């Protein structure tokens, strides 16, 4: 059983919201404050703030609808249902559908009140939910603010290492076709997690100008890391989907491709080491293909594609498979060259952030 920071913050928010609600609004159960605290705790401070403002608006709307319906048709099960429908319709029209749950709870709580003063009952219910929302936002902001850099970098390195292993096995035909298909699906899922973590980092609130500038520079690197990760997954997918095409290559062409991709993968590993401070910023300059090699490489591939197209025994799309492999290889190379250039500039110019980058690398080991 694992209890993380978010779980502890949720419990703390419930306790404080309940206590403040009882203290500020006597003779009330404080249930709405606790419910609001639970539903408002978000994985990022920016999301908490966005939900904070949207929930305040939706709760006020819910309270107003409840009071209007109480005076219009009274308090009964049918009236409560109608009020809920009206509230949902209004919130949908205002593009607040993601926060309607708490607003509807407020409507039900107000319309089930036994107080004769509908205005006061509605005010108390709205205040309760407002207390829960405010407390949850403040705690999420001040107590262990979400740190997404570490899980992002850990996920990135683990995913990259696994995909590189899959590619090496594929190039040597040491993996079962069906098993590799499942591995690619896993890689796509991990890539989705990676992009989600990046979005959370990108949306985080940073008040210090120095921290904001450092964060912006790292986000540039992280964005290119994501693109490079996608390109290497695409390369794996291309090799897997066109495995029969690759196996039909002449032996010397298979060796040429395998050695070139192996060079790129070694460079990829060392670029990540460069970011974490284990390789000098000026190193890893062997990724970009020399002109003579590139001309020979492309000529061999286009000749192979033409041979596949002319072969009587070839499937119609085998020549396309040759081009897909070539395209995925060069896309991976271009992504690596760009990532290497960005990290080199970052490491040579911005020394003040190196300790944080090295700490990320140390924590991953």
Specify the higher pLDDT residue, 3 or 349: 349
d(CA 138, CA 181): 45
What pLDDT was estimated at residue 360? 58
| pLDDT digits 0-9 by tens, 308-360 | 666 645 555 666 777 888 889 989 999 999 999 999 888 887 765 555 555 55
Q: Tokens at residue 219, please?
A: 């986000």
**250 with 355, same domain?**
yes
Contact 268, 162 (CB under 8 A): no
Q: What mean pLDDT do residues 18-36 have?
A: 79
Cβ count within 10 A of residue 68:
14
**359 with 210, same domain?**
yes
Cβ count within 10 A of residue 164:
19
> Predicted confidence band at 286 (pLDDT cuts at 50, 70, 90)?
low
d(CA 207, CA 210): 9
Specify the higher pLDDT residue, 281 or 195: 195
**179 with 119, same domain?**
no
On whether the pTM is more than 0.85, the answer is: no
Residue range(s) defining the domain that contains residue 32? 5-142
**130 with 249, same domain?**
no
**199 with 316, same domain?**
yes
**159 with 267, same domain?**
yes
**250 with 321, same domain?**
yes
Query: DSSP letter at 248?
Result: T
DSSP element (H, E) containing 229: helix 209-241
**69 with 85, same domain?**
yes
Domain limit, last residue, from 118, 142, 166: 142
User: How many folded domains does the chain comprise?
Assistant: 2
**154 with 136, same domain?**
no
The residue behind tokens 């974490």 is 276
Nearest by Cα to 16 from 141, 138, 135, 144: 135
Specify the higher pLDDT residue, 47 or 345: 345
**66 with 117, same domain?**
yes
Q: Tokens at residue 160, please?
A: 């990259």
Domain limit, last residue, from 142, 161, 195: 142
Q: What is the mean pLDDT of the chain?
A: 81
**126 with 167, same domain?**
no
What pLDDT was estimated at residue 57? 85
Q: What mean pLDDT do residues 284-313 have?
A: 68
| pLDDT digits 0-9 by tens, 90-126 | 989 988 888 888 788 888 888 887 677 777 777 877 7
| pLDDT digits 0-9 by tens, 49-86 | 777 778 888 888 888 888 888 888 877 888 889 989 99
**125 with 254, same domain?**
no
Domain limit, last residue, from 77, 109, 142: 142
> Predicted confidence band at 157 (pLDDT cuts at 50, 70, 90)?
very high
CATH number of the domain that residue 332 is part of: 1.20.58
10 Å CB burial of residue 126 (0-12, 13-18, 19+) is buried
Nearest by Cα to 221 from 347, 90, 328: 347
């Amino acid at each position: 059983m694992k209890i993380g920071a978010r779980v502890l913050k949720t419990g703390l928010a419930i306790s404080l919201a309940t206590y403040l609600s009882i203290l500020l609004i006597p003779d009330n159960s404080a249930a709405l404050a606790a419910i609001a605290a639970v539903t408002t705790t978000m994985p990022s401070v920016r999301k908490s703030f966005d939900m904070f403002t949207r929930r305040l608006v939706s709760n006020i709307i819910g309270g107003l609808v409840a009071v209007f319906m109480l005076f219009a048709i009274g308090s009964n099960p049918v009236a409560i249902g109608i009020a809920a429908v009206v509230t949902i319709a209004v919130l949908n029209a205002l593009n607040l559908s993601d926060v309607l749950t708490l607003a509807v709870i407020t409507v039900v709580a107000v319309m089930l009140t036994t107080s004769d003063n509908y205005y006061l009952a509605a005010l108390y219910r709205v205040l309760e939910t407002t207390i829960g929302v405010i407390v949850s936002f403040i705690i999420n902001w001040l107590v262990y603010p979400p740190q997404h850099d570490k899980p992002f970098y850990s996920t990135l390195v683990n995913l990259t290492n696994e995909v590189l292993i899959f590619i090496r096995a594929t190039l040597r035909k040491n993996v079962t076709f069906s098993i590799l298909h499942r591995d690619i699906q896993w890689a796509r899922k991990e890539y989705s997690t990676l992009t989600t973590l990046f979005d959370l980092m990108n949306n985080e609130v940073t008040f210090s100008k120095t921290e904001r500038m450092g964060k912006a520079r790292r986000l540039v690197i992280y964005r290119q890391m994501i693109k490079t990760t996608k390109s290497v997954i695409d390369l794996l997918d291309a090799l897997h989907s066109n495995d029969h095409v690759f196996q039909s290559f002449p032996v010397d062409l298979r060796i040429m491709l395998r050695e070139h991709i192996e060079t790129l993968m070694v460079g990829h590993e060392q670029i990540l080491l460069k970011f974490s401070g284990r390789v000098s910023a000026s190193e890893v300059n062997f990724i970009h293909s020399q002109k003579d090699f590139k001309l020979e490489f492309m000529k061999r591939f286009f000749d192979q594609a033409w041979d596949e197209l002319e072969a009587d025994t070839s499937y119609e799309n085998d020549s396309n498979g040759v081009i897909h492999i070539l395209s995925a290889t060069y896309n991976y190379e271009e992504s690596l060259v760009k990532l290497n250039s960005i990290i080199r500039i970052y490491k040579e110019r911005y020394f003040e952030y190196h300790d944080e980058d090295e700490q990320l690398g140390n924590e991953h080991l």
